[in-house]
Structure 1
Amino acid sequence: MRLIGPDNLDAAVQAIEAGGLVVVPTRRWYMVCADASNARACDDIITGKRRPSGKPLAYVATSTASCDERFILSPDARRLATAFWPGDLALLLPWKNTEDAAQHAAVGSPALVTIAPDILGDLASAVKVPLAATTANISGDAGPNDPGPAITIDQVHAFLAASGLEPDVIIDGGVCPAANHMTIVDCFTPEARLVRTGLVHQRAISAALGTEIRTA
């Protein structure tokens, strides 16, 4: 396990491309990343987090153009992508073909897709494989003493000890300051539906769409 700074992204790129795990800071919290097409690496994350099998990891795309290569973007999805990507929004998008869906099962079908800013986005752009990511915490642990996803390196190490995960690289980004999840919008059907509120609030989604968004 190697602790690096954000200026040494090459080590993280090499680890992902070799089938390893990397922990990356975002403004929300630390995320655990892997090659989205590497079933073993993604399964390790899902098992370590004790994440329900039907709850996908996020697919971190590099651009709207790259999304067009794999996914079907409805007019609503394109409006939201234009308004909020890169940013704190994920869209549930249908795959263009079933082979791609099968090769990237960990990110779901429909897939949970985002374009991320900052270090996570830089990593997605630098690797030669599709990137999957999820928060650094044990899933479903919402008791009174649960601090939520890791926002410091000490909390990352506590999560790793609890999960048994052994990432090859941890990128130290200091303290993550924003206290909420990504917003999730279902764009699998032509009319978008709000699945989960987060940093991109419901009024902003409605404003971008030009109509009040309904809840899924």
Structure 2
Amino acid sequence: MPDTRRLSPAPDDLRRAAAMLRAGGLVAMPTETVYGLAADATNDRAVAAIFAAKGRPRFNPLIVHLADLAQVEVFARMTPLARRLATAFWPGPLTLVLPLKGGLSPLVTAGLDTVAIRLPAHPVARALLAAFGGPLAAPSANPSGRISPVSAAHVLAGLDGRIDAVVDAGPCAVGLESTILDATGHQPALLRAGGLAVEAIEALGLTVGRPRGGAITAPGQLASHYAPRGRVRLEAGTPQPGEVWVGFGPCPGAALTLSESGDTTEAAARLFHILHEADALAGAGGRIAFAPVPHSGLGRAINDRLSRAAAPR
């Protein structure tokens, strides 16, 4: 495959990107969460190319991105719970796992009878979905298990030459992947913490539970994920010799910081930027230490990503 084309958000470039997708190509697109690696979700060969480009395990399902609720009804059954959540939070950084109707490549769902669906809020993602006119499977646009991309430069650093194009619309505003909820029942179950805080969901009067069993039913559930090249240590009040220390709040001497003011929203938006920077500073085989981050609000999702980055691999 030739070097990846860098496209702008201009209408002509989005039409080119949509044509690439209709031809079975791979296009990285911006969303409000992270950059996604998009392919036609009805095309087996195109979806298989996502797994090949990322080196992604085939048992790990993909999120389907759609433009509107009418499209969702074609591929999935909207439960009463899903309609309530969609009314409150779509478009936005929320993915709902729903009963599958059909029409998608079985590679998208990893053979499950459910499908993960999101309506992104990013105007460029929405414009590309409208130009394409159908469902796009789009996991994060990075090699599997590595740090998620929040800029076009991050995409190219990991996938240049493996994909057809990247639509460059600047940095992602949320900076964390979407929150994933199982909405097949009467109460939501949290499958992955993300860019929508659990507290916002509970404010609807819902109780957010945990899934039963250990089977992978949605993206982002692998124990080791979002990993830099070196080792990661968490809850580090002070650095050890040779570590790149990443602070949160007042941390004099920290090489980098998620948020000097201790703001979890800012920290979420900066997390993957900082992981990329710390990875470059530490180098292969280096060590990175993160100061404690509160386990509330978006801090829950930040700690989820950091624990997976620190997991044995």
TM tier relative to shorter chain: 0.7 to 0.9
Distance 2:55 2:68 in 1: 30
**Would you say 1:155 and 2:154 are equivalent positions?**
yes
Looking at structure 2, the residues matched to 19 and 130 of structure 1 have their Cα atoms a distance apart, in angstroms, of 13
Q: Cα RMSD (Å) of the superposition?
A: 1.7
Q: Which residue of 2 aligns with 1:179?
A: 175
In the alignment, what sits opposite 1:144? none
Count of aligned pairs: 202
Aligned pairs for 1:56-205 (under 5 A) are 56-97=61-102, 100=103, 103-108=104-109, 109=112, 110-117=114-121, 118-141=123-146, 148-161=147-160, 165-167=162-164, 169-205=165-201
- Matched position secondary structure for 1:215: coil
Q: Distance in 1 between matches of 2:153 and 2:131?
A: 27
2:32–2:120 contact (8 Å) kept in structure 1: no
CA deviation after TM superposition for structure 1 residue 107, in Å = 2.5
1:211 aligns with 2:206: yes
Q: Secondary structure at the match of 2:191?
A: strand
How far apart, CA to CA, are the structure 1 residues paired with 2:62 and 2:90? 18
Amino acid in structure 2 at the alignment position of 1:112: A
Rounded Cα–Cα distance in structure 2 between residues aligned with 1:113 and 1:151: 20
**Residue 20 of structure 1: CA displacement?**
0.8
Q: Which has the larger radius of gyration?
A: 2
Give a deviation string over 1:15-41, Cα, whole Å, max 9, x none. Answer: 111111111112322211010011111
- Contact kept, 8 Å, 1:60 with 1:121, in 2: the verdict is no
- Give the SS at the match of 1:134: coil
Distance 1:153 1:63, change over 3 A: closer
Deviation at 1:179, TM superposition (A): 2.7
Partner SS for 1:135: coil
Q: How far did 1:83 drift?
A: 0.6
Q: Compared with structure 1, are the counterparts of its residues 178 and 211 closer, same or farther at alpha carbon in structure 2 (3 Å cutoff)?
A: closer
Aligned with residue 55 of structure 1, among 39, 54, 60: 60
Gaps of 5+ in 1: 142-147
The one-letter code matched in structure 2 to 1:207 is A
Q: Which of 18, 21, 46 is the aligned partner of 1:41?
A: 46
In structure 2, runs of 5+ residues without a counterpart are 212-313
The 10-residue stretch of structure 1 (132-141 or 36-45) with the greater mean CA deviation from structure 2: 132-141
Task: Say whether residues 1:31 and 2:36 are aligned partners.
Answer: yes
The separation in 1 between residues aligned to 2:65 and 2:86, in whole angstroms, is 13
Q: What is the CA–CA distance in structure 2 between the aligned matches of 1:64 and 1:159, rounded to whole Å? A: 33
Which has the bigger relative contact order, CA under 8 A and spacing at least 6? Answer: 1
Q: Which has the higher strand share?
A: 1
Q: Percent identity?
A: 35
- CA distance in 2 between counterparts of 1:170 and 1:91 reads 26
Give the 3 Å change call, closer, same or farther, for CA 179–166 of structure 1 in structure 2. Answer: closer
